[in-house]
């Protein structure tokens, strides 16, 4: 006898949500016997589109989906939530300054953080997907002081999966044979995809990534830039941003929070940096390697960091500090 799980998806009329909702409602994330209430939030002009999404969810005839609540009101959307997936954000328009983008998103995530604080369960798990995800996540967390900072994370699992897949293709093995890649830092082109601790299963034996790939130049060059620029490459090709792969990464991220990570494996997610052992500045949402048990993440400690890695970890931290300071200055207004 499972109690109902109440979960919110924002930006619910958008294309990531369209790829995401079916997987969640079908039981791919919280398990095959976990009944779900789906709350779908979007802005008023999107309500008609959202009604279409609701019709389709009904037409999927899914046994676990007990109720679907479409709304444009925060007090309805955030009530008694167990899980919130914040996908909706202000997208960057052509010719838009980054600081204007930040300002618009601070307003959104300040408001949603306050709504989480006021209406959601204190145990709510919050995943921020809307970009700039790390900083949006930090603003939401700061705006919800009664919810533990540990309950907030941002999505870098898509970058993690991209890195894993690049290594797998290079070695000619399935992606499941590649583990413990790391995404450090910001979900932006300064992120650092690190394979110094990655293991590849080649015909039954586990090799260090550098020994499996046997191409240090590629691993310290083109591999990194491919992963960093992958989002832009998808937009260039499809004229739309990654939706199917983003939705899959959201499912992976939430499933791991819910069910835990496998023994000896870690995954990447953006989490609160205060108290980390890698010298990353405090009070950031920064992507680290984490292990998860009992719905609680823990940064993997004691990984050796060489000079090459340290420089890249510092560069992405510097960008996050600048983003945070700009965003926090708007928060005060």
Pairing of strands 182-184, 192-194: antiparallel
Which of 187, 196, 197, 253 is catalytic? The answer is 187
In order along its 333 residues, the chain shows pLDDT tens digits of: 579 999 999 999 999 999 999 999 999 999 999 999 999 999 999 999 999 999 999 999 999 999 999 999 999 999 999 999 999 999 877 777 878 889 999 999 999 999 999 999 999 999 999 999 999 999 999 999 999 999 999 999 999 999 999 999 999 999 999 999 999 999 999 999 999 999 999 999 999 999 999 999 999 999 999 999 999 999 999 998 999 999 999 999 999 999 999 999 999 999 999 999 999 999 999 999 999 999 999 999 999 999 999 999 999 999 999 999 999 999 887
Binding-site residues for substrate, in ranges, read 92, 98, 131, 162
Q: How many domains would you assign to the chain?
A: 2
Q: Tell whether 142 and 163 lie within a shared domain.
A: no
The verdict on whether 187 is a catalytic residue reads: yes
Annotated binding site for NAD(+): 42, 105, 129-131
**Domain shared by 64 and 150, yes or no:** yes
Indicate whether this model's pTM tops 0.95.
Answer: yes
User: 164 with 64, same domain?
Assistant: no
Are residues 168 and 103 part of one domain? Answer: no
**Radius of gyration of the CA atoms of the chain, in A:** 19
Q: Return the closest-CA partner of residue 151 out of 253, 79, 80, 257.
A: 257
Place of tokens 């959104």: 108
Q: Note down the domain range covering 30.
A: 5-154
Q: Which residues are annotated as a binding site?
A: 42, 92, 98, 105, 129-131, 162
* End-to-end CA gap in the chain: 47
Last residue of a domain, one of 154, 179, 201: 154
Q: Is the peptide bond before 132 cis (omega within 30 degrees of 0)?
A: yes
């Amino acid at each position: 006898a499972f109690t109902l799980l109440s979960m919110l998806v924002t930006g619910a009329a958008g294309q990531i949500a369209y790829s995401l909702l079916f997987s969640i409602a079908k039981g791919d994330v919280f398990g095959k016997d976990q009944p779900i209430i789906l709350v779908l939030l979007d802005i008023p002009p999107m309500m008609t589109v959202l009604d279409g999404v609701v019709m389709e969810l009904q037409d999927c005839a899914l046994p676990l989906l007990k109720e679907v609540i479409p709304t444009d009101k925060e007090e309805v959307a955030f009530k008694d939530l167990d899980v919130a997936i914040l996908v909706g954000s202000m997208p960057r328009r052509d010719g838009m300054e980054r600081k204007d983008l930040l300002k618009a998103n601070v307003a959104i995530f300040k408001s949603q953080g306050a709504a989480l604080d006021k209406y959601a369960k204190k145990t709510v798990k919050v995943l921020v997907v809307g970009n700039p995800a790390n900083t949006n996540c930090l603003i939401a967390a700061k705006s919800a002081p009664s919810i533990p900072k540990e309950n907030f994370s941002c999505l870098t699992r898509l970058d993690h999966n991209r890195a894993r897949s690049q290594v797998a293709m290079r070695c000619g093995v399935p992606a499941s044979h590649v583990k413990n890649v790391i995404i450090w830092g910001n979900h932006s082109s300064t992120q650092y995809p690190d394979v110094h601790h990655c293991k590849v299963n080649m015909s039954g034996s586990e090799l260090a990534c550098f020994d499996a790939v046997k191409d240090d130049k590629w691993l310290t060059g083109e591999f990194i830039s491919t992963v960093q620029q992958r989002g832009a490459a998808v937009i260039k090709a499809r004229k739309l941003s990654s939706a199917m792969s983003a939705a899959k990464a959201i499912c992976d991220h939430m499933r791991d929070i819910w069910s835990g990570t496998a023994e000896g494996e870690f995954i990447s997610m953006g989490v609160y940096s205060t108290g980390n052992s890698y010298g990353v500045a405090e009070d950031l949402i920064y992507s680290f390697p984490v292990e998860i048990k009992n719905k609680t993440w823990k940064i993997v400690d004691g990984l050796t960091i060489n000079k090459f890695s340290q420089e890249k970890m510092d560069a992405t931290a510097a960008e996050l500090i600048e983003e945070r300071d700009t965003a926090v200055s708007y928060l005060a207004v």
